[in-house]
Structure 1
Amino acid sequence: MLKFKRSMMPALACAIMLGAGPAKAETLRLGDFQSTTHIVSVEGTTRWMKAVEEATKGEITFEHFPSEQATKAAALLDAVNHGILDAALIGTIYHGESLPMNSVVGLPGFYGSAVTGTAALQAMLADGPLREELLESGVVPIFGFVLPPYQVLAKKRLGGPADWSNLNIRTAGSTQAMTARSLGAVGVSIPGPEVYTAVETGRLDGILFPLASVPGYNLQEVVTHISRNGSFGGYSFVMVVHRDRFEGLPEAVRTAMLEAGKDVAAHVAKAQDDSIEDLAGKWTGQGIDVYEFTEDELAAQRSAMADVSADWLTRIGRGEETAKAVLEQYRMLTSD
């Protein structure tokens, strides 16, 4: 039966500094930034580790460092590249400089569910610029999935752009910051684990966040209004393994990791979508205003955000043909 070791980073760092030998070939050190109760961990990371252990009959086990125990969310890719970790579930938007094309998922107005967005991401990670970026960064993408479309959470009801003017809104990465700006707000990039305190202390006026992830950070405790039918961009997670480490594993093990990844990607996407209805009901019962934008508000938002994709091509993609091809493929794969 799979046994996860959850130790703190100082012990790991100490072992490395003391010159301890490398981890056994069958043990992978895996880090992420979600708590073990977060839906992404329960239905994604932990499920994948168990599936790999079972498929390899114990040939592969994991030493798991959740909740930023190994390093901060924005440093996970570096941790893998520097040998602190063998694998990590990274939020690609936190690595915009290394993975600019992967930030396409942050654009507003595309996929309407995690299932649709995940199918598109998996296709783009199998072949093309998104995959090449990761390989060039020293890691192999095993599987990827997205969060449900971002909604807005705040202490007042936000509708059309006039309601957003000059508000400090939490965003995830530069692409989503463009979305906030297009609505008249100021995008403030803060990792998920730090958002609760930022809202509580008044540093943030609102949050762009996927509803399925709200309970993982208890954000429902610090807001009074939550939208349901907005489309303020997305967020992608990718499970990566150090390229040399992965290529050094037996072929059967590599195959098992990839096959388990396909199943888990589809599973965690559906689990997130399915959770939203129950969450909305619970929040309403707690006195939170869980609301839908009116057609006029949606039209005003779409109009305001219309240029975000063009801005992404210019600022992130630098107008290059690769960026244009990525955007067109993403648009095609996420269209209903």
Structure 2
Amino acid sequence: MKLFTTTRTLALMTASVAALATVPADAQQLRLGDFQSTTHIVSKEGTTRWIAAVEEATEGAVTFQHFPSEQAARASALMDAVENGILDVALVGTIYHGETLPMNSIVGLPGFYGSAVEGTKAIQAMLAEGPLRDEILETGVVPLFGFVLPPYQVLAQKRLGMPDDWRNLNIRTAGSTQAMTARSLGSVGVSIPGPEVYTAVERGRLDGILFPLASVAAYNLQEVVTHISQNGSFGGYSFVMVARKEMFENLPEDVQLAMIEQGNEVALHVARAQDDSIAGFLADWAAQGVDIYSLSDNELEALSDAMTEVAEDWFNRIGRGSDTAREVLERYRDLTGG
């Protein structure tokens, strides 16, 4: 069991007590945490939309007290917060839990899905049954729904096209799988949380950033780079809404069903919202003088050839060459056409 700071726990308990006065007497209030701000598209079109949908579908039988922006626990500790009863539900980034959810890191592989909707359909199918679902259940939580961010692009101070352009650069990556992607292109993967990337680029610690375009504006990264690709596929990132298993199983069946059904709808909604937001962002950044470029067919082919080894690297390093890892890789490939 991991310990949480006394200050953070006391703040959560105090907020919980204060909120009880506004909750109907017959309602069951659940504490939900995540690490995105309420202005981020993942929160606006995902988390908060799901909260409202579940409360409406259950006619107030279940309500939520929402703790965004790491108010209840840091991104890497959200899973533990649910397991230990600090939270009832949390939206977790699976890459932050690589040690306990190694198979779920499959989403970080490059060249598999081409849009958030495509990737979300694949992840939803794999969370419904199979190894991805099983390893989440083994931690003591239940996956309710999941979705992905759009394919990661590269943001840098110069145009990064052919693999030779990437040699010896420090590239921000998310998780160990994306670090393999950077290494396949001759770069060094540097793991830095999203909120710290802006400063790292300003100070010259990073030469480039792998990031999903729908999330760039939330961190104003377009202000510190001059070139942004728009048609690459340098890996992905998945979110999963999880609930404490014992708590979830004690809820009425109709409430459980509402949480899952509304999650299925919201998963595709937030995926589509992210995909749809990208064109507007690109137009705005281009107007600000950022070079928004498309990788040529030759560049895409060369990058794909260089990154081919990443899937096998994942299978051997993360999956330890197991039959389970092979099953996960083959199913993910079938679902995405990667």
Is 1:13 paired with 2:10?
Answer: yes
Structure 2 counterparts to residues 235-250 of structure 1, below 5 A: 235-250=237-252
Distance 2:76 2:202 in 1: 23
The equivalent residue for 1:85 is 87
| 8 Å Cα contact 2:12-2:72 kept in structure 1 | no
The equivalent residue for 1:306 is 308
Is 1:174 paired with 2:176?
Answer: yes
The equivalent residue for 2:326 is 324
Q: Which amino acid aligns with 2:313?
A: D
Distance 2:314 2:299 in 1: 23
Distance 2:140 2:218 in 1: 30
Query: In angstroms, what is the RMSD of aligned CA positions?
Result: 1.9
Q: Give unpaired runs (5+ residues) of structure 2.
A: 1-5
How big is the shift at 1:72?
1.6
Q: Flag the 1:330–1:11 CA change in 2: closer, same or farther, 3 A.
A: closer
Q: Flag the 1:16–1:47 CA change in 2: closer, same or farther, 3 A.
A: closer
Among 94, 104, 107, the residue aligned to 1:105: 107
How big is the shift at 1:11?
6.6
How big is the shift at 1:13?
2.3
Is 1:52 paired with 2:54?
Answer: yes
Is 1:42 paired with 2:39?
Answer: no
Q: Flag the 1:53–1:12 CA change in 2: closer, same or farther, 3 A.
A: farther
| 8 Å Cα contact 2:40-2:218 kept in structure 1 | yes
The equivalent residue for 1:150 is 152
| 8 Å Cα contact 2:8-2:72 kept in structure 1 | no
Query: SS state of the match for residue 36, structure 1?
Result: coil
Distance 1:68 1:307 in 2: 35
Query: SS state of the match for residue 313, structure 2?
Result: helix
The equivalent residue for 1:135 is 137
Distance 1:11 1:62 in 2: 19
| 8 Å Cα contact 1:138-1:243 kept in structure 2 | yes
| 8 Å Cα contact 1:73-1:191 kept in structure 2 | no
User: Deviations 1:250-276 (Å, cap 9, x if unpaired)?
Assistant: 111111100000000010111111111
Instruction: Name the TM-score, length of structure 1 as normaliser.
Output: 0.93
Query: SS state of the match for residue 261, structure 2?
Result: helix
How big is the shift at 1:10?
4.1
Detail structure 1 runs of 4+ shifted over 6 Å in the superposition: none
The equivalent residue for 2:279 is 277
| 8 Å Cα contact 2:8-2:71 kept in structure 1 | no
Q: Which amino acid aligns with 1:58?
A: G
Among 66, 69, 77, the residue aligned to 1:67: 69
Q: Which amino acid aligns with 1:151?
A: Q
